[in-house]
Chain A
Amino acid sequence: MELEINNMSKGKQRKLPTISGFLSFLIALMALAGINVALLIDIDDFPEMFLITLPIVGFFLGLFGLITSKRSRLYALWGIGISLFILVFTFLMIGISWVGINPKP
């Protein structure tokens, strides 16, 4: 239970996550929530915002969030991880629907 009181009193350098890392995680979570809704209520339209726009924003914010030497990178890494997952998910789902299952010329 080291609270690093010494550091705190000098430069307020507790290992808080970076703001962009936090935003990245938050945006990735919003995109995931949107995908959940789209999948569960079976929307026919392609939810481009949740599948492409938000994950890309989340990914780059996460990259910015990584640029720090003293703060925690935890949120940034989660943000990047989820954003990448969503992008891979989108790519694979489009690919599979197009050629993998019941392809139509």
Chain B
Amino acid sequence: MVDTAKVDEILRRHNSKRENIIAILLDCQEHYDYLPREVLEEVSSNIGVSVTSVLSIATFFRTFSLKPIGRFPIRVCNGTACNIKGSNQLVEALERDLNIKKGQTTPNLQFGLDTVNCVGCCGLAPVITVGEDVHGKAKISSTRKIIKRYRAMEKKHAESVH
């Protein structure tokens, strides 16, 4: 069961206006890590738009996900410069490292893997992003290091909290 209290706060922030639906869903996804069904239904009943329309929008725009994207969503940029500098091979390397396929999330929901169609850091191609962090001039041999760094970061954070 998903707690939809935050949804109402987000809706208020955007005045529950129909034209702000993309912004509403973006903020919801940031909070919940994805767009659960309950959230879509809550948004629908609140802004007076059918669930069909809300779900249409949620499945049309690629930033949205109906499944968890992971606490550290890893995105390999597939822009032209990144592609000709080997972005496909980076995706494969990460698939091996994380033991998941592109489009999936690790069972513990720590990492998600997917491509993204251009983050605009082409001067540093090939680029991998983890959340909003940018890793330019990425190499096959450094993908494991990147994963290790975030695992350590989360461990450290968990330890400091307790």
User: Does chain A bind chain B?
Assistant: no
**Which residue numbers of A lie inside 8 Å of B, CB to CB?**
none
- B residues neighboring A (CB under 8 Å): none
